[in-house]
Chains A and B, each alone.
Chain A
Amino acid sequence: QKEVEQDPGPLSVPEGAIVSLNCTYSNSAFQYFMWYRQYSRKGPELLMYTYSSGNKEDGRFTAQVDKSSKYISLFIRDSQPSDSATYLCAMSPYGNNRLAFGKGNQVVVIP
């Protein structure tokens, strides 16, 4: 079993829809959870960073962590064509070092 599982998609949604992405993991030591956005031919950029269980909101983006279920989610409200990208989840026991990444979810927002 891989440490981090993320269904690679792709996911196509109409503009304005809610995008829901998730990852599961097997390592109970993971405490830090991140979502990165990667545009085509670019490096990943950090979107959301959460510690332990709970919710975090930043504008149209909400990250949720459920450590009891080993499950994390990212929601994008009022999706825009500029949100079209690959979204990677990442996690670590020790903060932002030695991250374990998911495969990434390709999202396409159709105008």
Chain B
Amino acid sequence: DAMVIQNPRYQVTQFGKPVTLSCSQTLNHNVMYWYQQKSSQAPKLLFHYYDKDFNNEADTPDNFQSRRPNTSFCFLDIRSPGLGDAAMYLCATSSGDPEETQYFGPGTRLLVL
């Protein structure tokens, strides 16, 4: 089935140790999003790619970076994770058509020790 896949589902890292989260999609969608969702909080958009065009949200910390090497894959890099970065990270895709839905992956839960 076409879907959005996130790896790993759970990630434990140490304070300050760089970590990379992965998202892949089989939907051939133009747009890929990364959201951060903390417990009992709304998902917060970090950035998105429209094809190769990177769009950063104004309040996304510099500690968060992203790469999209091809249509199918998108990575979230956290350069120096702090305790406050522990959260669920959600990847989503859409075709770019405003009438079409965003499809979400299952998320990666990040724990920072």
Residues of chain A at the chain B interface (Cβ within 8 Å): 4, 6, 8, 32, 34, 36, 41-46, 49, 88, 94-104
Contacts and interface: CB of A to CB of B under 8 A. Distances in A.
Contacts of A44: 43, 90, 104
Given A8-B40, A43-B4, A96-B102, 16 more contacts: A41-B109, A42-B107, A43-B6, A43-B105, A43-B106, A44-B43, A45-B104, A49-B101, A88-B43, A96-B94, A96-B97, A96-B99, A97-B31, A97-B98, A101-B42, A102-B42
Contacts of B48: 97-98
A95 B102 contact: no
Interface of B: 4, 6, 31, 40-45, 48, 90, 92, 94, 96-102, 104-107, 109
Contacts of A46: 101-102
Nearest to B94: A96
Contacts of A103: 40-42
Nearest to B91: A43
Contacts of B96: 97
